[in-house]
Amino acid sequence: MPCIASRSRPLLLRGALSTFRRRCGKPSCRCANGAPHESLALSFTEAGRTKILTLSASELAEVAAAIERYQRRASSGT
């Protein structure tokens, strides 16, 4: 998420991280016999609708930190 890195103040994100596991349907793929494909995602609500944004592995730490900052701020009541 390049928009996070370009911010002057730490970003707060309200959302949740999840891992999607799925099978692609190709009979010769490794997922056909066991290990499904995995992708990281951020789930959040926008305008009353749940949105899912797939993340790269390099974005995970920054997004997780932004969610943590939001949760700390929300629990402190400020």
Pick 11 or 61 by higher pLDDT: 61
Q: pLDDT value at position 76?
A: 83
pLDDT digit string, tens, across residues 17-67: 999 898 998 999 988 888 899 999 999 999 999 999 999 989 999 999 999
Contact between residue 1 and residue 17 where contact means Cβ atoms under 8 Å apart? no
Sheet holding 49-55, edge to edge: 16-22, 37-46, 49-55
Q: What confidence tier does 78 reach under pLDDT thresholds 50, 70, 90?
A: low
> How large is the average pLDDT for residues 65-76?
91
